[in-house]
Chains A and B, each alone.
Chain A
């Protein structure tokens, strides 16, 4: 790697000095993301304004072996933007445009830095619908969503970000620009590079532009809240609803401690003494929505829900879902450190998984709040702790390891939507197996032989910054 001053000089020549920063203050501000206990200072922070500038930056870094950490809003939960090996942090704060909305082809083309909510609101105003709505959508970027293949509250029925990425412009580690996919609904010309890039966590290249699929908006929607005295009955309801062949748009689960902290912040009238609640939303033609909701209501009651309440109106429904979106941050009200997991199981195993998590919490004497996209089998057991209590932190680690193990035993995965990053790199083998990991590393090595793209993420690095081979 170049000396920092030389690097800065050459980057300034590409971008103009005002878009290149290396002050103490800036380095600190780009040293972290939303993952607790990971922090490392980069050497330089850059804000390119277009594809050509990104290309020149990547070429320079490839030539000099400088790590590049692409960063959207830094809300990821797997230490995906922590510059653990220094180098440059590449920002998209000057690339936030919605370039085109193609009403005839139902697509939109955007720059990576546009925030998810801005994009969703924009397409809604134009009469379209973009379903992936991660809890963090208020601030997360489309580039980050694509790179983590983020899910959201509507994932159950509508799938995740992957299902909406039709084409990409990617700057590869050698500086070349590759255009993948496009506006065609059908396209089998060669390997599906679009899908390879989705969820690649900035380790294979820089996404400079994306073409996304839009849907016509649903005709109507209805939301209900089912309240339980028994957490497993709530989880069982989820399985029963799916078994009844109903796919609601949203089916979110919150347990008692989560309800309490969320209500404390949002004040939307959640029952703070209930053991668990389900927030269920269905959308579509209004007769279908009515019918589904009636069936859902019956199933909830059969599963001993103590109360089933329909949202009074759209505003009320929106409030309930917004409250759910803040669950993770609200947990931080209780303890200074909140560590969240992303274990995911096949949906039929949700009840068993909830039970297992509660058992693990008791065994290791840790406080766990559980909430999540229950309909997808994607739960977020969140441990409330204090990073300063080293003894407890040990137990936290053991509890998480056991949760992963259980998830895999149930045929699940170690991460449903938050990605591997640094945080789960040591566990990737558990899910992918040796041969799976080997294939992934071969791809990485072929495309990024110098390991400049977000090193240390997905695959662990050795102290020299080289990928530890499987």
Chain B
């Protein structure tokens, strides 16, 4: 009971009352919300409903009980409700604050608490540990352990979706490769911009080749790239899971790592990280000094696709691929938070022989949503099924994504549908690099390790 009282008080004190009132309950956001649609139009599972739930707790109309918490957790955090809201309600901030309050007052069983500590406090904030963990995966994939596990059917002990997940992970680079990352790369064209690169934790290990592709593209576009070693995890995972204090700590580290660099932009290649970086200032509502530093930092965040377009990469480099149909599946956070959806399309359309077709409902989340597909497997799979129906109706031979979570989720969907041989799923950076003429790619790396 005491617990509930504390939660109520925290809602009353910490939630932004004006923002809650800014929702005038017009319902315009409802049809864009995947959880509303997938639950058969359940108002409680809609943005308007969730805002009302938060306000209901603030106003003392309802108790913040388990049902309320469940409903807030069922939200994908895809933020498709934001660009369609005529009143400009900042749903994402409300959600993050509410989840943080609930998390802080939650009594989790010991093993769950321990697991969260390991993931949020021990693993992600420390790049070396991430590397080591991914190295285990490398061993698993390379030593024949994987085949052995599959032969012995040990994987049947894993929950079905987790087993499927491990089977679609990319081929992991070796521990040595992950350790020796560049700190500076010169431009491969006359210099147009000097940028910093945000490497990300999973992107720089599990998806290292995509990071390399991105860096090469930037060089080809005429960018000098600085990659500060002191940067770390963006903190999105923490921010979205009610670990705001840890997110703040990580944010401070990144702001400090980048702010002294003399660069035109800080470039990301993962919608999820990029979006969180662009909102760092919201973490520091009551720390004006940090807020100011955060604002300077976020003002420079750009997706790599934007930078490539700004540098005229798509005009300068003759891109080409074998003839095929390609479709772009939006990354929710890139589209709804960073508001980028034209640049990736423009780049794809500049590739010769490629027929870019729009996937119906491509503004709809794929159900990956950070770790949603792990913590909410049921609804996540329903949403993925809906997405796959659209994919099957269009039948592209290549699906392009702009975020690692989406990439894995779409690969999972393709695998489940038995279409691995027909449809490739790739990150935009890998596709673009693939379409760069061979002679340009080989033209020296121009980098130095630091």
List chain A positions with a Cβ less than 8 A from chain B. 23-34, 36, 39, 41, 47, 73-75, 93-94, 96, 113, 115, 136, 138-139, 262, 264-266, 326, 328-333, 336-338, 386-387
Contact = CB atoms under 8 A, between A and B. Distances in A.
A96 B40 CA distance: 10
Interface string B65-94: 101101100000000000001111000000
Given A41-B61, A265-B86, A336 B28 contact: no
Given A24-B68, A28-B56, A265-B86, A74 B24 contact: no
Given A28-B61, A329-B86, A34 B67 contact: no
Which of A41, A326, A332, A387: most chain B Cβ within 10 A? A332
Interface stretch (B42-50, B131-139, B191-199, B405-413): B42-50
Contacts of B68: 24-25
A29 B49 contact: yes
Interface residues of B, number: 33
Given A34-B26, A74-B27, A332-B86, A25 B71 contact: yes
B25 interface: yes
B28 A329 contact: yes
Nearest to A92: B41
A333 B49 contact: no
List the 7 closest pairs (A to B, CB-CB), nearest first: A329-B86, A332-B87, A336-B21, A29-B44, A326-B86, A25-B67, A93-B41
A170 to B, nearest CB: 23
A24 B87 CA distance: 27
Interface in B27-55: 27-28, 30-31, 40-44, 46, 49, 52-53
A329 B85 contact: yes
B7 to A, nearest CB: 13
Contacts of B41: 93, 96, 113
Contacts of B65: 24-25
B88 to A, nearest CB: 5
Given A28-B56, A138-B28, A326-B86, A74 B43 contact: yes
A27 B63 CA distance: 12
A34 B88 contact: no
Nearest to B65: A24
B171 interface: no
Contacts of A73: 27, 30
B62 interface: yes
Contacts of A36: 24-25
Given A330-B86, A330-B87, A332-B86, A139 B44 contact: no
Which of A74, A266, A387: most chain B Cβ within 10 A? A74
Contact of B44 (A26, A34, A262, A329): A26
A370 B195 CA distance: 48
Contacts of A329: 24, 26, 28, 85-87
A29 B22 contact: no
